[in-house]
């Protein structure tokens, strides 16, 4: 009887540990999928649209790093992406499809259990390569615009352990070429 009790307790311990590991793995997979989805939404808009070099929030020429990504979609409509504090220490990626975005115009595209710790946009070249420069009688750059999106996400669910950080990065070129 004692051996049976020990064997049952050991089997129960293995079962509980296995379930905890499975739950942690599922949460990490969900967090990674949610972060990849948000990154792919931004990348798809860049691919199908064009960088909005005329956006009022950009300096000219563009600095090395931007906190807001401004694009024009295939119908020449504005789309903006940025990282915003949504309260309780959580940051989210928000999108706006207005020319001038007020606070209420930004829509959250990240799930509530995901916080965006970092969202940076590196835009190259620094000036619109499709704008003719009359002074030099040339285009300023002979390269397709690229956006490198760097994102760091943290799951906001707690399981008695520290939350895992997921770092993602992608570089996307616009498919529009207007020369």
Secondary structure (3-state) at 2: helix
pLDDT at position 138 over 90: no
Residue 142 tokens read as 């002979």
User: Looking at per-residue confidence, does 78 or 29 come out higher?
Assistant: 78
Closest C-alpha to 173, from 107, 129, 139 = 129
* Residues 3-45 pLDDT 10s: 877 877 777 777 777 777 777 777 778 888 999 999 999 999 9
HEC assignment per residue over 6-48? HHHHHHHHHHHHHHHHHHHHHHHHHHHHHHHHHHHHHHHHHHH
| The pLDDT of residue 168 | 96
| Mean pLDDT for the stretch of residues 131-157 | 85
pLDDT bucket at 158, cuts 50 / 70 / 90: low
Compute the mean pLDDT over every residue in the chain, rounded to the nearest whole number: 87
DSSP 49: S
**Tell me, what's the pLDDT at 37?**
94
pLDDT of residue 113: 84
Read off the pLDDT of residues 89-105 as tens digits, 9 standing for 90 and up.
899 999 999 988 898 99
User: If we measure between CA atoms, which residue out of 103, 69, 95, 87 comes closest to residue 174?
Assistant: 69
pLDDT value at position 20?
A: 73
- CA 31 distance to own-chain centroid: 13
- If one compares 78 and 25, the residue with the highest pLDDT of the two is 78
105 versus 178: the higher-pLDDT residue is 105
């Amino acid at each position: 009887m004692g051996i049976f009790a020990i064997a049952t307790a050991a089997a129960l311990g293995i079962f509980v540990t296995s379930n905890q590991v499975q739950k942690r793995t599922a949460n990490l997979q969900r967090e990674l999928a949610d972060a990849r989805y948000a990154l792919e939404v931004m990348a798809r808009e860049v691919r199908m649209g064009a960088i909005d070099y005329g956006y009022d929030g950009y300096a000219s020429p563009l600095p090395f790093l931007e906190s807001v990504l401004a694009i024009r979609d295939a119908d020449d409509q504005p789309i903006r992406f940025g990282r915003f504090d949504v309260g309780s220490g959580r940051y989210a990626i928000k999108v706006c499809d207005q020319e001038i975005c007020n606070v209420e115009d930004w829509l959250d595209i990240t799930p509530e259990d995901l916080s965006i710790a970092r969202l940076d946009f590196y835009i190259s070249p620094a000036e619109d390569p499709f704008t003719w420069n009359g002074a030099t009688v040339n285009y300023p750059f002979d390269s397709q615009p690229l956006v490198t999106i760097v994102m760091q996400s943290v799951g906001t669910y707690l399981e008695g352990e520290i939350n895992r950080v997921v770092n993602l990065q992608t570089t996307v070129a616009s498919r529009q070429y207007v020369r």
